Amino acid sequence: MKTVLIAAACGSAAFATTGSAQVPPDIAAKVRAAGQAMDPTISQLYAPMFPKEAWAGVSIERDIAYGADPLQKLDVYTPDGAQGAKRPVLLFVHGGGFTRGDKHGGFYPDNITLWAVRSGMVGVNIDYRLAPKDPWPAGVKDLASAIAWTRANIARYGGDPDRIVLFGHSAGANHVADYAAHPQVRGPEASSVRGVIMLSPAYSTSPGARPNAYYGEDADLGSASGQITRLTASPYALFYGYAEFDPPPMKATAAAVIEGVCRTRSRCPASVELKDSNHFSEGMAIGTPDQQLTAPLLKWIEALPGPSRAKP
């Protein structure tokens, strides 16, 4: 059986997955043919692979308000009978280019919070205010509010309020990275966060980039160079995933941020390049037999420090 080694830069971690955990050949061929095209339909190839029985025994409470805005809502996924337990909590933030997206869909991103439950965690999925109506720092402040709600309420769902892991994809990865990087947006809830997972965020890697719908005219806010400095100073453990066929901005961000943060060896994120995957399929694969991301991710989550060792 073929073994693929997935190593974090600078030796901070190394993960091995077996050939059986990789992209199925028929899906891999279609993803390679599509290349870096931003075509979300290719990722629907994964939907039939998600076991229908995975939903059995899972309770979902939807559209819980964590703020006054109609978009400040979250869903909680928990295994039946988990009340009284103290499971780690995975809080997921969807993507959508800062201007769109939703915590609940026909398959994605529900597959991610469901995977969390099946992996021994409680899952929380959030919506947040969107640009251009609500630019920086609305999204990251909403994330802080959602973490505060989770910290205050998750125990009654069987979650541990002192073991919250943040996970964002695409623009959602920007939001969780910004939370880790900007201490001024964090409050007392920050002590509950154990680690931050970034799946294909995008920051500017070249000067003179056009204003961003969310970050606006402030070039530093949306820049990889600024983010490298801030993430290096962040107190949180970092995990970085990206796809072989991510669009150029995401690939450039991955290269710049991983290399830049790894200049400080102790801050080097665990990282994985997802072969035969694109910007959409990387998230859709979560919870299916394609475990390129989830196998190393679970090992990383299990190794995170507990509350007594992590400092916000």
Residue 219 maps to a domain: yes
Residue 310 maps to a domain: no
Mean pLDDT over each residue of the chain, to the nearest integer? 90
pLDDT given for residue 1 in this prediction: 24
The arithmetic mean of pLDDT across residues 279-296, rounded, is 95
Q: Which of 41-45, 181-185, 295-299 has the lowest mean pLDDT?
A: 41-45
Neighbouring C-alpha atoms within 13 Å toward the C-beta of 100: 2
Residue 123 maps to a domain: yes
pLDDT given for residue 129 in this prediction: 98
State the pLDDT confidence band at 9, using cuts at 50, 70 and 90: very low
Residue 307 maps to a domain: no
Pairing of strands 122-126, 73-79: antiparallel
Cα–Cα distance measured from residue 159 to residue 246, given in angstroms and rounded to the nearest whole number: 33
> Which domain covers residue 259, as residue numbers?
3-302
Host H or E run for residue 230: helix 224-233
Q: Domain count for the chain, please give it.
A: 1
Dmax (CA) for the chain in angstroms is 54
Residue 308 maps to a domain: no
pLDDT given for residue 208 in this prediction: 65
Residue 147 maps to a domain: yes
pLDDT given for residue 7 in this prediction: 34
Residue 198 maps to a domain: yes
Q: Which residue has the higher pLDDT, 209 or 308?
A: 209
| CATH code of 76's domain | 3.40.50.1820
Structure-block tokens of residue 27: 């899906």
The arithmetic mean of pLDDT across residues 120-127, rounded, is 97
Residues 6+ apart with CB under 8 A from 25: none
Rg of the chain on CA atoms, in Å? 18
Residue 218 maps to a domain: yes
Amino acid at site 173: A
